Amino acid sequence: MKKLILLFSAGIFLFFSCKSFKYPTKDAQGQTLHYLRISTNYGNMVVQLYNETPKHRDNMMALAKIHYYDSTLFFRVIKNFMMQGGSCDTRNAQPGIPLGNCDSNYTVPAEIMPSLYHKKGTLCAARDNNPAKASSATQFYIAQGRVFTIAEINAFAASRNLTLTEEQIKNYTTLGGIPQLDGNYTVYGEVVEGLNVVDSICNSTTARELNDRPLRDVKLSIRILR
């Protein structure tokens, strides 16, 4: 009887855990959606990973599973642009030194597509100047960008010979973002909770001589939400 009670209790806990999960669990195609919590000393963010970019999704999930990002930093922060993390030389780094020169021994093939663009809060893969635009396996950035006027975004699109969707125009002129990076870096997720944390971190004071390292360390860890 005791075992039955324990099993029943576990079932109740699972039921209520599932009921309390407030984010969509399936996409329009019926695929399971995956979420990460990025915890920082400025607050927490919840990120949904895109199923359209499975290589980047699975790589980030694997790194989160082994707690790769524990004790690392957002080491490069530029107001109205982005905040970058994931370099292994930031783990327990000493103050006063530039960071960001540590990476893994593999890359992730590019998964760049027009429908995934740099609106504010998107999770994007950093990379070097390799011609295939393959991504760093560990380094990523979250877009802040800025809000554009209709005239500005139309002029930008014309200068690049681009046709932007109504959704893109709406997001770039209300939410903001970094359209100049579209087509050059893989965008593979977005912040669904905690955009205010993006602003708090991106608006923090940094040292230009230290490659835009924040004067107050921005510590992070990443966990899979179930």
Tokens representing 38 are: 């990025």
CB 8 within 8 Å of CB 153: no
Give 117-156 pLDDT, tens digit per residue. Answer: 999 999 999 999 999 999 999 999 999 999 999 999 999 9
Give 45-79 pLDDT, tens digit per residue. Answer: 999 999 999 999 999 999 999 999 999 999 999 99
Mean pLDDT of the chain: 92
Using the predicted structure, report yes or no on whether residue 10 has a pLDDT greater than 50: no
Using the predicted structure, report yes or no on whether residue 115 has a pLDDT greater than 90: yes
Q: How far apart are CA 121 and CA 172, in angstroms?
A: 12
Rounded (10°) angle between helices 150-159 and 166-174? 130
Q: Read off the pTM.
A: 0.90
Question: Where do the domains of the chain lie, and which CATH numbers do they carry?
Answer: 31-225 (2.40.100.10)
Tokens representing 108 are: 């992730």
CB 44 within 8 Å of CB 199: no
